[in-house]
Structure 1
């Protein structure tokens, strides 16, 4: 322990404490609140003291992402691959919802850190341990994309609007012109706070997408799918 001028004891500064405090600060006030000066104030130290533990703000942000990714449930030995992948992705989603700023940092990273790579590697090994071929896993990881980390990268601005959000005239036009969209948009109760699309249930859509993908992986695995088969099927007939 170190001692302040008034004799009170405080925790010694460490990289773990710096990162834990930075994560808490971002959770409370957003990513915009993260600067070396503000972090030093939160820790009760001078800014120069931080540079013994993080070289710069970029390293700080990488470390914060590592701290967040480390909260995701570890893999379970011997678990069914499909259930194990689903459980970990949903754990990752819960972590990202606790730390919503982390997604922005991950998307802006020039390269993944070793901890992020280790998480990705552990997910791949879960598929491989389930007997899924490396060839198929290669394509599965592309299909899952950022869902592996509990979020999706989507363009929400172009999502169709539910008739309930429209004027009577607009709703009538939608029903006459786009009956398919209207049928889908009105097929179930909606969450007005959704980010997937106006009125959609975020959690339901997220889990549905995962289940759909994993069911497809299982089906291809049972069929003995290989990418070379796809290449032959797609080749033009001369």
Structure 2
């Protein structure tokens, strides 16, 4: 009776936090309702009182980790505010390397993802962006807004696992391929990557991420200053 009285109640929040911890420890591929129930010390059917199925579980897990992204800064300009939030999102993904592919796997964005994206647009609009330019900025930024981007030569893209693309290593190209594509082999051998900063499968390292992010933000700022609209496109 005493054990029953002191047992931690099973709640949706407790289930989601346990699922996030399990995915962090073993990868998203190993996550199942059965082993999650085992971790929580309950029978699998007990979970279904709080989450309808694994899809709902994944959506909830995404919302938990996206909720870790820092809120928008009010004491800086739009560019610094957006940059800091994106880098905060990237730090979240370092803590949860399974999250990028979990986010990409969903047919619809979760409520937390939508709220985050909406707040980024709000920052752009408050910074003087037209609706038109903000629309194109969001397309240009893509998944980078959420702290990750697909690596061009990633051959190790597997859900929930970390790893750098094979091209990141000087030995990434077999000799016969390097001979056929010498320019790619040259830059892959010259590149320096820090394995410890890799967010996850399909994501570049921190330096490359910030390099591209700053190029985008600087270019976007120039368009904002010029009053660019989509009617300026070359057809």
TM range (shorter): 0.7 to 0.9
Q: Give the structure 2 partner of residue 210 of structure 1.
A: 213
Residues 156, 195 of structure 1: 8 Å contact kept: no
Aligned residues: 223
Shift of 1:153: 2.3
Distance across 1 between alignment mates of 2:177 and 2:99: 38
SS of residue paired to 1:110: coil
Task: Please list, as runs of the form range in 1=range in 2, the aligned pairs for 1:161-200 lying within 5 A after superposition.
Answer: 164-165=170-171, 173=179, 178=182, 181=184, 184-185=187-188, 189-191=192-194
- Cα pair 1:163 1:171 within 8 Å, conserved: no
Structure 2 residue 35 is matched with structure 1 residue 38: yes
2:222 alignment partner in structure 1: 219
User: Higher Cα Rg: structure 1 or 2?
Assistant: 1
Q: CA deviation at 1:201?
A: 7.0
C-alpha distance after superposition, 1:18-57 (max 9, x if no partner) = 1000000110111122111111111111212111110111
What is the TM-score normalised by the length of structure 1? Answer: 0.81
**2-structure distance, mates of 1:70, 1:162:** 31
Cα pair 1:140 1:217 within 8 Å, conserved: yes
1:221/1:56 CA distance change after superposition, 3 Å: same
What residue in structure 2 maps to residue 127 of structure 1? Answer: 124
* Residue 61 of structure 2, aligned match among 37, 60, 64: 64
Deviations 1:36-80 (A, max 9, x none): 111111111121211111011110011001001001111122421
**Structure 1 residues 195 and 155, CA gap change in structure 2 (3 angstroms):** farther
- Quick one: which of 228, 231, 235 aligns to 2:231? 228
Evaluate the alpha carbon distance shift between residue 157 and residue 16 of structure 1 in structure 2; reply closer, same or farther with a 3 A threshold. closer
- TM-score computed with the length of structure 2 as normaliser: 0.82
1:125-151 Cα shifts (integer Å, max 9, x gaps): 111111111111101100100001111
Q: Which runs of 5+ in 2 are unaligned?
A: 156-164
* 1:94 and 2:91 matched: yes
Residue of structure 1 in register with 2:12 after alignment? 15
Which residue does 1:110 correspond to in 2?
107
CA RMSD of aligned residues (A): 3.1
